[in-house]
A and B are shown apart, each in its own frame.
Chain A
Amino acid sequence: MDHAAVETAIAAMGIGLQALLERRHITAPLMVGIHTGGVWVAERLHAELALADPLGHLDISYYRDDFSRIGMHPQVRPSHLPVTVENRHIILVDDVLQTGRTIRAALNTLFDYGRPKSVILAVLAELDGRHLPIEPNVVGLHARLAAGERIKLTGPAPLVLVRGRAPAKPAPKTHQVEAAP
């Protein structure tokens, strides 16, 4: 999926988010992107919505449920939440939603920084294969994967969603998921 299609999907997310915020009477949300792909998407949305508070970055490495399986990520960037999440409406942004495990970890991470008033989930690409009861509020596009196929967001510029066969080892500097078995 080329750069233009991704930018169109992000623009649609912006419109969707704006409408949702108005419906819920939320005037000053705090946007938080999940490392790495989620931050790239969040940067676009943050500009799109012209939010006053700076963008937060969330690294969920320490909260992953498969930590003992895949080991420590060589470069965990500290989470950076410039403004307290306490009592704020949060827009959580990620690139790809499939099993829901990343979002579970992200919610746990977020709540260790404080108690948000609400959390809205916005994802660029939604896939089938949920393992957990987690659903997005705003979706850029729906994708369907064949068995063994995966999708990954490459960036930060240009942002391109790449489909391909799952390699034996994940390539660095990209964020990717495999089709659920």
Chain B
Amino acid sequence: MMSHANAHDLQLDPAGHLKHLLTVEGLSRELLTEVLDQAEGFLGVAQQAVKKVPLCRGKVVANLFFETSTRTRTTFELAAKRLSADVLNLNIAASATTKGETLLDTLRNLEAMQVDMFVVRHAASGAAHFIASQAAPHVSVINAGDGRHAHPTQGMLDMFTIRRHKGAFENLRIAIVGDILHSRVARSQIAALNTLGTGEIRVIGPRTLMPAQVESLGVRVFDDLREGVRDADVVIMLRLQRERMSVALLPSEHEYFQLYGLTEERLSTARPDAIVMHPGPINRGVEMDTQVADGPRSVILEQVSNGIAVRMAVIAMCIGTQNLRGQSAVGGLDD
């Protein structure tokens, strides 16, 4: 797979508009804020009797999932449908040996069907970037999770949820707990939190589940949960990604819970108005206690609803206005 060092160069068109969303790294604070502001507008569509707006009528969005997903795929599908786009869902089993060839073949076939956007999930880091670099000029690509690399829409929906509850990021203390090593979600969250100027970002977990030089990401590292969540405004729990662990990094899930599982008691050092987040799916009794997951500080289900609005914003920003991209916008509203 290709290097993704230059992913952000691909992401914007010459006019600076979002063309692909592959990673939040390299995107400006203004652009991330625009995504959040647009999502705020799209949240209102869910209140309509007809939960649909005609922004992407006639566009075709293909969900290209080489890895299984329920929440991400369905919320992307709903987001596209609420924008009146047509949606193709393709669940393609990844082939380890012919990945590049399979990807390109799939891509060319879908382009021949006049698809306007690919939403890509893949087990290999850089897969979405590879597709974006190979896609026809009119096609946009959104990364819906690639290996351990990035999951930008999840990162942005978490930013959206935090902003709705806590406002500006400058004075916030945000703790991310768990398997940082395998988490593309954590990587996207940390990049977005840094760009948005978050006061303090903490990562908490066993050393075996921390990437090398994790401090260089601009975070404070804790190995004690109680200390790590002390005075936190937001506590983000990550899923233990056993499927990505090739060697024994953990003694047992039971022991993990003993040390890093979030309980109401351990949460008591956080700020009284702290919110608890989780990207799902939750391993109840492993990352967190059921009481916390279903408790008053949990915003986990709100994250799911917010995910639709944020994905609508990203889809609309990429393909909603592309018909006459490059032509200058005409001033004056036509009333």
A residues in contact (CB < 8 Å) with B: 59, 61-63, 66-72, 74-80, 86, 94, 96-99, 101-102, 108, 111-114, 150, 166-170, 175-178
B333 → chain A closest CB, angstroms: 6
Q: Is the CB of A63 within 8 A of B334?
A: no
List of 9 A-B pairs having minimum Cβ-Cβ separation, nearest first? A78-B44, A76-B41, A62-B53, A68-B323, A112-B50, A178-B332, A177-B335, A71-B321, A169-B331
The one of B40, B330, B331, B335 in contact with A78, judged by C-beta atoms closer than 8 angstroms, is B40
Q: Which residue of B lies closest to A70 (CB)?
A: B329
Task: Give the bracket for the number of chain B residues in contact with chain A.
Answer: 20 to 34
Q: Is the CB of B41 within 8 A of A68?
A: no
- A170-B37 contact in complex given A68-B324, A114-B49, C-beta closer than 8 Å: no
Q: Is the CB of B332 within 8 A of A67?
A: no
Counting chain A CB atoms within 10 Å of each CB, the highest count among B37, B49, B332 belongs to: B332
- 24 contacts across the A-B interface (CB closer than 8 A): A59-B44, A62-B55, A63-B54, A68-B322, A70-B329, A72-B316, A72-B320, A74-B34, A74-B37, A78-B44, A78-B47, A79-B47, A86-B49, A94-B335, A98-B335, A108-B54, A112-B49, A114-B49, A166-B332, A167-B331, A170-B332, A175-B335, A177-B332, A178-B332
Q: Which residue of A lies closest to B322 (CB)?
A: A68
Q: Is the CB of B44 within 8 A of A63?
A: no
Q: Is the CB of A168 within 8 A of B41?
A: no
B residues in contact (CB < 8 Å) with A: 34, 37-38, 40-41, 43-45, 47-50, 52-55, 316-317, 320-324, 329-335
The one of B47, B49, B55, B330 in contact with A69, judged by C-beta atoms closer than 8 angstroms, is B330
The one of B38, B321, B329, B335 in contact with A76, judged by C-beta atoms closer than 8 angstroms, is B38
A83 → chain B closest CB, angstroms: 12
- Interface majority SS on B: helix, strand, loop or mixed? loop
Chain B residues with CB below 8 A from A166, complex form: 331-332
Q: Is the CB of B329 within 8 A of A69?
A: yes
Chain A residues with CB below 8 A from B38, complex form: 72, 76
B330 → chain A closest CB, angstroms: 6
B126 → chain A closest CB, angstroms: 29
- A67-B334 contact in complex given A61-B41, A75-B37, C-beta closer than 8 Å: no
Q: Is the CB of A67 within 8 A of B321?
A: yes
A179 → chain B closest CB, angstroms: 10
Counting chain B CB atoms within 10 Å of each CB, the highest count among A75, A86, A166 belongs to: A75
Q: Is the CB of B333 within 8 A of A177?
A: yes
Q: Is the CB of A176 within 8 A of B333?
A: yes
Chain B residues with CB below 8 A from A176, complex form: 332-333
Q: Given contacts A62-B45, A69-B323, A177-B333, could you give 7 more A-B pairs where the C-beta distance is less than 8 Å?
A: A67-B55, A72-B38, A112-B50, A112-B52, A113-B50, A150-B332, A178-B334
Chain A residues with CB below 8 A from B317, complex form: 72
Q: Is the CB of A99 within 8 A of B335?
A: yes
B29 → chain A closest CB, angstroms: 15
Chain B residues with CB below 8 A from A101, complex form: 334-335
The one of B41, B44, B329, B334 in contact with A71, judged by C-beta atoms closer than 8 angstroms, is B329
Query: How far is it, in angstroms, between the C-alpha of A161 and the C-alpha of B323 when the chains are bound?
Result: 34
Chain A residues with CB below 8 A from B47, complex form: 78-79
Q: Is the CB of A102 within 8 A of B41?
A: no
- A170-B323 contact in complex given A59-B41, A78-B43, A112-B49, C-beta closer than 8 Å: no
A79 → chain B closest CB, angstroms: 6
Q: Is the CB of A78 within 8 A of B41?
A: yes
B50 → chain A closest CB, angstroms: 4
A67 → chain B closest CB, angstroms: 6
